[in-house]
Amino acid sequence: MSRHTIPKKPEQRREWIKYQLRLNGSSFSAIAKERGVSRQAVQLVNYCPSPKWEGIIAQKIGTTPEQIWPERYAA
């Protein structure tokens, strides 16, 4: 799967995000540790909007939150 082909199905997108984080030397756990929160706190972004975590994850992957979660940013 291409870096730029972001799955639309939530379960596939979750796996894509995890894969992209690994490719970039990170993970939900690593982000949590860097920020002093639990891994579960970071992973909640998979289930509900959180601009803070969406931005951090997108930055780690090298894209924007709008590209990863377009339905959350639709006008």
Distance set, CA 52 to CA 5, 31, 41, 42, 68 (Å) = 23, 12, 11, 10, 14
pTM, 2 dp: 0.88
Mean pLDDT, residues 9-17 taken together: 95
Of the listed ranges 2-6, 19-23, 42-46, 48-52, the least confidently predicted one is 2-6
Please identify which residue in the block is written with the tokens 């756990």.
29
Over residues 40-69, the pLDDT tens digits come to: 999 999 999 999 999 999 999 999 999 999
Q: Which domains does the chain possess?
A: 10-72 (1.10.260.40)
Percent of the chain with pLDDT over 90: 88
**pLDDT-based confidence at residue 11 (cuts at 50, 70, 90):** very high
